[in-house]
Amino acid sequence: MENKQTERRALNIFIVEDDDDDYFLLKNLIKDTHEWHFELERATSFSDAMMNLTKKSYDAALIDYYLGSETGLGLIKNLRAQSVDIPLILLTGRSDPEIESEAILAGASDFLEKGQFDFPLLRRSLRYAINRQSIQKERDKALFSLQQSQKIDAIGRLAGGIAHDFNNTLTVIFAYSDILLEKLEPSSVAAEIVQELKKSAERAAGLTKQLLAFTRKQHNVAVAANMNSLLNHIEKMLQRLIGEDVVLTIKYAEKLPLIQIDIGQFEQVVLNLVLNARDALGQNGQITISTSTIPSGEQVVLTITDTGKGMSEETQSHIFEPFFTTKEVGKGTGLGLATVYGIVKQSGGTIELHSELGKGTTFNLYFPKIEEETDTSSILKIAPNHTNLHGNETILLVEDEENLLKVLKASLEHQGYFVVAASNGEEGLNLALKKANKTIDLVLSDVQMPKKSGIEMVKGLRDKYPNLKVIYMSGNPEYAFGENGFQPDAITNFIQKPVAPKIIMEQIRCFLDNQQPPTTVP
> Within 10 A of 20 (CB to CB), how many other CB atoms are there?
10
Which CATH code of 1.10.287.130, 3.40.190.10, 3.30.870.10, 1.10.10.10 fits the domain covering 149-214? 1.10.287.130
Least confident of 219-228, 314-323, 423-432: 314-323
Fold match between domain 9-117 and domain 394-512 = yes
Beta carbons of 399 and 425 less than 8 angstroms apart: no
Q: Look at residue 474 in the predicted model and tell me its pLDDT.
A: 82
**What does the mean pLDDT of the chain come to?**
81
Q: Is 73 helix (H, G, I), strand (E, B) or coil?
A: helix
Each residue's pLDDT tens digit, 364-421: 999 999 876 566 554 444 344 555 788 899 999 999 888 889 989 988 998 899 999 9
Task: Tally the residues of the chain.
Answer: 522
pLDDT of residue 220: 59
Q: What is the DSSP letter of 489?
A: B
Residues 238-257 have pLDDT tens digits of: 888 788 888 999 999 988 99
pLDDT of residue 68: 86
Q: List the chain domain ranges.
A: 9-117, 149-214, 222-370, 394-512
Nearest CA to 17 out of 39, 42, 50 is that of: 42
Q: Which residues pair with 156 in a beta bridge?
A: none
* Residue of 95 and 4 predicted with greater confidence: 95
Residues 6+ apart with CB under 8 A from 325: 331, 332, 333, 334
Name the pTM for this structure.
Answer: 0.49
d(CA 228, CA 255): 9
Segment 199-204 mean pLDDT:
80
Q: Does domain 222-370 have CATH number 2.40.240.20?
A: no
- The whole-angstrom distance between residue 490's C-alpha and the CA centroid of its chain comes to 32
Of the candidates 479, 464, 456, 471, the one whose C-alpha atom is nearest the C-alpha of residue 519 is 471
Q: What digits encode the pLDDT tens for the residues 19-33?
A: 898 889 888 888 877
433 vs 429: CA distance, rounded Å: 6
pLDDT 10s digits, 145-194: 677 666 666 666 666 666 667 778 888 888 888 888 888 888 889 989 98
Residue 300 scores a pLDDT above 90: yes
Superfamily of domain 394-512 in CATH is: Response regulator (3.40.50.2300)
Mean pLDDT of 45-71: 90
Residue 40 has what pLDDT?
92
Share of the chain above pLDDT 70, in %: 80
Which amino acid makes up residue 389? L
pLDDT grade, residue 200 (50/70/90)? Answer: confident
Specify which residues 218 forms β-bridges with. none
Is pLDDT at 494 greater than 90 in this prediction?
Answer: no
Say whether pLDDT at 307 is over 70.
yes
CB atoms within 10 A of CB 218: 29
More confident residue, 209 or 48: 48
Confidence of residue 518 (pLDDT cuts 50, 70, 90): very low
In whole angstroms, what is the distance from residue 185 CA to residue 130 CA?
75
Contact partners, residue 149, CB within 8 Å, separation at least 6? none
Cis peptide leading into residue 498 (ω within 30°) = yes
Q: Residue 6 above 60 pLDDT?
A: no
The superfamily (CATH) of domain 9-117 is Response regulator (3.40.50.2300)
Residue 487 CB coordination number (10 Å): 8
